[in-house]
Amino acid sequence: MGGLPFTAMTSVKRQRGQEPLDIADIWLSRAVSQVRQPVESMFNWIEEKTSIEIASKVRSYQGLLVHVFGRLEAAMFIRNVLPKCA
| Domain assignment present for 70 | yes
Lowest mean pLDDT among 4-13, 16-25, 52-61, 73-82: 4-13
| Domain assignment present for 13 | no
pLDDT of residue 73: 94
CB 15 within 8 A of CB 33: no
| Domain assignment present for 6 | no
pLDDT of residue 28: 85
- Owning domain of residue 27: 23-85
Q: What is the pLDDT of residues 26-84, one digit of tens each?
A: 888 888 888 889 999 999 999 999 999 999 989 999 999 999 999 999 999 988 887 77
